[in-house]
Amino acid sequence: MSIVPHIVGVLVLLLGVIVSVGLHELGHMIPAKKFGVRVSQYFVGFGPTLWSRTKGETEYGIKAIPLGGYVRLIGMMPPAPAGTRRGTGFWNELVADARDASVAEVRPGEEHRAFYNLSTPKKLIVMFGGPFMNLVIATVLIGVVLVGYGTMAVSTTVAQLSECVPASVTSAASGEDCEGQPAAPAAAAGLEPGDEIVAFGGTEVHSWQQLVGLINESAGRASEVAVLRDGERVTLAVTPARADRPVVDEQGAAVLGDGGEPVVQPGGFVGFSPLQVRESQPFSSVLPAIGEQTWQTATMVATLPVRVADAATQAFTSEERAQDSVQSVVGVARISGEIMALDEAILDRVMIYLSLLASLNIALFVFNMIPFLPLDGGHLVNALYEGGKRTLARVRGAAVLPGPADVARMTPVAYVVFLILLGVGGVLIVADLVDPVRIT
């Protein structure tokens, strides 16, 4: 198998990630500049600088490792409160050094342009701008997939006929399966592949689920079925056989019980399988889809320790790696390569890529909303804490409002979170290399 499609798939995904990260950082930078904060750097990537150009007071550039990015907002940490003495010990030195480095970036006379002097609402807008941009990207991509491309749906058009009433009605039956079995009502009535069923038993049919219900209600009773054949309406007579039918969901997939066997219920059997078609979804379906996927991602993040442990266990034991296992960037890149190598139409693969990129942007949104530094959610929590203190002071009638929150004191938390994320990433990378999740 050629490795070229895999390489192309990884490069396409990499480009999508770079664009997503770049737009995320723009979501921070644009409102920051609007509010007067000096932005000294805007970079996509980490590590050695590949290219940079200074325009105005901001240096724009690309770095060698395209797995992130950053904007440097001047004055993220305020000076130490008056009377604060420099503490001793590793953590106190860490806090003091972080505070001094932030203060040193503020030019004399530009204290009013420091991030820490923004009002609470402006801080929230700046810090939420990045994750919000990822949510916008995901919404646009999901909209293209659902509205512009559509999803597979079960139609009321005949795709395949059964020759008889089989012992099991989970699939079409023919040949040896039909020995000693009665003829299928659909074939006996003269239904043909390509017929679109538009009415059953005098009721106009608009969906597959409705048709299944009408067939089940008519078991053992002769009924008229109207079909469109070559543009003409043709009426046939069919008597659905009594049979246990599998319970299906809205997409026409069989509902499985606890033991993995299809759930069945008494009903009628006509003897044809429906044609699956691609249907464009309304714009109103986009936001619910985003909401559902965001909730699923948030649930995954909330249970991340358990999922990482499961991934490690599955990778280093005989247990099979689950399809929904949490993955690192290495695993996602591998899946991207597999998508490009699929034997599918190019448009289908493009839509799979857009769905994957939308999922990554939702993951970036949820991940950045974790309320700990150095993530955006940590800055949002600090801004809310600062705003809460000032609001309380106003209610109490204080003559002087509290100053900016001493964010530097959270530096140890930021380092611990960074080390945890580094460890989690390392475990998942090893798991993805040893026992990757496969889509084929």
**What is the CATH number assigned to the segment(s) 151-279?**
2.30.42.10
How remote is the C-alpha of 129 from its chain's centroid? 19
User: How far, in Å, CA of 47 to CA of 66, rounded?
Assistant: 9
CA atoms of 160 and 324, how far apart (whole Å)? 33
For residue 142, CA distances in Å to 136, 345, 409 come to: 10, 19, 40
Radius of gyration of the chain (CA): 30
Convert the pLDDT of each residue in 218-245 to its tens digit. Answer: 888 888 999 999 888 999 999 888 877 7
The β-bridge relationship of strands 223-229 and 196-200 is: antiparallel
* pLDDT on residue 180: 64
pLDDT digits (tens, 9 = 90+) for 302-311: 988 888 888 8
Does 258 or 355 have the greater pLDDT score?
A: 355
- List Cβ neighbours of 32 (8 Å cut-off, separation of 6 or more): 39, 71, 73, 115, 126
Burial call 328-358: b when 16+ CB within 10 Å, e when fewer: bbbbbbbbbbbbbbeeeeeeebbbbbbbbbb
| Secondary structure element (H or E) that encloses residue 42, with its range | strand 39-55
Q: What is the mean pLDDT of residues 318-326?
A: 81
Domain ranges of the chain: 4-145+357-434, 151-279
Indicate whether 138 pLDDT > 70: yes
Mean pLDDT for the stretch of residues 140-155: 91
Catalytic residue IDs: 25
Q: How far apart are the first and last CA of the chain?
A: 13
What pLDDT score does 154 carry? 85
71-80, 258-267, 281-290, 414-423: least confidently modelled range: 258-267
The answer on pLDDT for 140 being more than 90 is yes
What is the pLDDT confidence band of residue 89, given thresholds at 50, 70 and 90? confident
Q: Is the pLDDT of residue 284 over 80?
A: yes
For position 249, what pLDDT does the model report? 67
pLDDT for res 333? 83
Side chain identity, residue 248 = V
pLDDT band at 272 (very low <50, low <70, confident <90, very high): confident
pLDDT at 342: 79
- 180-204 pLDDT, tens digit per residue, is 677 889 888 898 999 999 999 889 9
State pLDDT tens for residues 8-43. 888 888 888 899 999 999 999 999 999 999 999 999
CB neighbourhood size of 80 (10 A) = 17
Residue 132 has pLDDT above 70, yes or no: yes
Decide if pLDDT at 170 tops 60. no
Beta bridge partners of 8: none
Beta strands, E only, 181-220? 196-200, 203-204
CB atoms within 10 A of CB 418: 14
Measured CA to CA in angstroms, residue 228 lies from 69, 72, 162, 184, 234 at distances of: 57, 65, 20, 20, 6
- Pairing type for strands 203-204 and 232-238 reads unpaired
Q: Rounded to whole angstroms, how far apart are CA atoms 434 and 321?
A: 10
Which residue in the block uniquely carries the two structure tokens 């246990």?
A: 244
